[in-house]
Amino acid sequence: MSDERAPVLIVGGGLSGLTTALFLAWRGVQPILVERHPGPSFHPRAHRVNERTMELMRAVPGLEDALVDAGPWAIEDFAMVIGATVTGPEFHRMNLAEEAEAVIDGEITPVRVSSAGQDQIEPVLLKFAKEQGADVRFGTELVSFRQDDDGVAAIIRDRTSGAETTVRADYLVAADGHRSTIREGLGIGTHGVGTLSHNINVTFESDALPRLMKGKEATLYYLRNPKFTGSYIGTHIPERGSVSFDYDPVKESPDGFDAAKCLQRVRAAFGVWNLEATIVETLPWEMASRVADRLRDGRIFIIGDAAHQMTPAGGLGGQTAMQDGYDIAWKLAAVLQNEAGPGLLDTYEEERAPVAEVTVARTVVNYLERLAPHRTDIPRDVKADNIGVTIGYRYRSRAILTEEPDDGLPTENPREPSGRPGTRGAHVVLERDGARLSTIDLSGAGFVLLAGPDGTAWTQAAGDLAAPLIAHRVGGDLHDVEGRWQERYGVGPSGAVLLRPDGYIAWRSADAVAEPKAVLDGVLRRVRCEPTSERSGR
């Protein structure tokens, strides 16, 4: 048995694991990722890369373009229909016109949304992760792990050769899905509504699909069929589609759904009883609503579906998973590269657990509204709408210098940004050296200080600090094209805000202060969670 060393070992090569590997490697930390399956997902499953996720992906040059290009449809053409069958009358039609308009006109964000499915997203993330230097090993499984005060020792096995390797890592990231063996091995339970339904996803091919779906290729169907509740969506291959349907595990077994039985369900979904189709693959799955009781155990972090299981209604599961990966990646990199104290890692759970709770609750309501309005056995309590949980969620932790009074709300309307610490830094159109850019483009690599037109004292103070900080003056090196920066960030001409690498506002000062260097130094130490002894020793 050979031995290897890695700063971070990631178990699981889905959306969350690949995102973690990519952004660790991009930040100069080379992880090892192991995934028991031989390659990325074949099933479309989660669709779309939404606005908030794309803002994070945008930091890596070329990644936004690659994800958009991977999608088969323009997002403004995408629609959602509720009906009994794909070809029958529509009960209700929803479209993403409002959301698409917000993207197109640049009111909320400058990014483009991708319509790609998980089977298209994962190969893109894999390509970029490898290009950045991540060591990604498919067909490799975790055999065992144990942690101590200094790190984690794990045994991994090549599933083809059977060769085993011991990997000693500083940290372990559990991205191993909703049946996470790591989470269970740590004795971490889950809570929530629980199982909502048992389902089978059927990927099929039919020469009739292009004709049946002409003009409706970019439509997701929620099916309230007399025989089942389910969905249909197309793929990037015109002749290939994906039908999902529920079944009663008391009366039926997933093993009983052979090709003939699956074909009958596909025909029922379309309302075309002579439809000829070939079943490509089936995937039993459980629709559930759960959140892990804890997202951290010592040097082990729980992310993605291992941390939260949610309904696909709203397309938020994969997005939350990718955002988990980005979050833990920048924090691990900062600690490993001595740019932050180890306390920063505590903020992963402090910040992401509340996001998981409100997002999971939102997807339950989406499921009830779109697929199961008849169900009265499930609570419909949720404190955020779809756009709030998509792009307006808030953070509260030791890495955020929250202002009082705090209303305690989990989200903020991104159309009405407040600039309060703990909220996402709003999109504002800027110009630098004659080129347009967004405030969103300024963060990503590290902490960024933005000062107002009369905030020269702030930018000078930033330059005098021995800290990884980039400073700009809006009204100096950056031109506020539409004159909206002060309003959207809630500061005056002499004020300043501090943006984290994820674009969230960590702190702000509405106006000038007497000793900007001392104030800024203290703020940076706090939001980077430097140990108290380290602070007092400087």
- pLDDT at res. 42: 76
- pLDDT at res. 380: 83
Rg (CA), the chain: 24
- pLDDT at res. 97: 52
Closest to 174 in 3D by CA, of 20, 301, 35, 310: 301
Among residues of the chain, what percentage have pLDDT more than 70? 96
Task: Show the tokens assigned to 72.
Answer: 């088969």
φ, ψ of residue 72 in degrees (nearest 5) = -80, -15
The vertex-259 CA angle with 255 and 263, nearest 5°, equals: 120
CA distance 484 to 475: 11
> What value does the mean pLDDT take over residues 64-80?
89
Give strand ranges (E) for 177-277.
Answer: 190-205, 219-225, 228-234, 240-247
Whether 221 and 233 have beta carbons less than 8 Å apart is answered as yes
φ, ψ of residue 39 in degrees (nearest 5) = -170, -175
Task: Show the tokens assigned to 434.
Answer: 């004659």
Whether 477 and 459 have beta carbons less than 8 Å apart is answered as no
Residue 354's CB is within 10 A of a number of other CB atoms, namely 18
Residue 494's CB is within 10 A of a number of other CB atoms, namely 19
**Which of 222, 367, 395, 504 is labelled catalytic?**
222
| Residue 312 pLDDT class (50, 70, 90 cuts) | very high
- pLDDT at res. 536: 38
Distances (CA, A) of 208 to 14, 213, 214, 238, 279: 32, 9, 10, 10, 14
- pLDDT at res. 90: 94
> What value does the mean pLDDT take over residues 320-329?
98
CA distance 13 to 117: 16
Whether 370 and 313 have beta carbons less than 8 Å apart is answered as yes
Enter the DSSP assignment of 397: S
- pLDDT at res. 98: 52
Predicted structure pTM score: 0.95
| Residue 303 pLDDT class (50, 70, 90 cuts) | very high
pLDDT at 538 over 50: no
Distances (CA, A) of 46 to 71, 120, 375: 12, 10, 24
Give the CA diameter of the chain.
79
Per-chain mean pLDDT for the chain: 93
Closest to 114 in 3D by CA, of 55, 49, 61: 49
Enter the DSSP assignment of 318: H
> What value does the mean pLDDT take over residues 101-119?
80
Amino acid, res. 213: M
Q: pLDDT digits over 325-367, tens only?
A: 999 999 999 999 999 999 999 999 999 999 999 999 999 999 9
- pLDDT at res. 46: 73
Residue 531's CB is within 10 A of a number of other CB atoms, namely 12
Q: pLDDT digits over 419-476, tens only?
A: 999 999 999 999 999 999 999 999 999 999 999 999 999 999 999 998 889 999 999 9
List the beta bridge partners of residue 114.
49
Identify which of 71-80, 96-105, 116-125 has the greatest average pLDDT: 116-125
- pLDDT at res. 537: 38
pLDDT at 100 over 70: no
Q: pLDDT digits over 230-288, tens only?
A: 999 998 899 999 999 999 999 999 999 999 999 999 999 999 999 999 999 999 999 99
pLDDT at 301 over 50: yes
Residue showing tokens 């339904």:
197
**Torsion over CA: 189, 195, 198, 201 (sign):** negative
> What value does the mean pLDDT take over residues 70-85?
88
CA distance 146 to 142: 12
User: Does the annotation mark 222 as catalytic?
Assistant: yes
| Residue 45 or 496, more confident | 496
CA distance 89 to 82: 9
CA distance 508 to 401: 8
Burial profile 188-215: b = 16 or more Cβ within 10 angstroms, e = fewer: bebebbeebbbbbbbbbebeebeeebee
- pLDDT at res. 72: 86
Closest to 254 in 3D by CA, of 204, 200, 201: 200
How far from the centroid of its chain's Cα atoms is residue 490's Cα? 27
| Residue 13 pLDDT class (50, 70, 90 cuts) | very high
The full set of domains in the chain, from first to last, is 2-44+52-57+112-190+289-387 (3.50.50.60), 424-536 (3.40.30.120)
pLDDT at 104 over 60: no
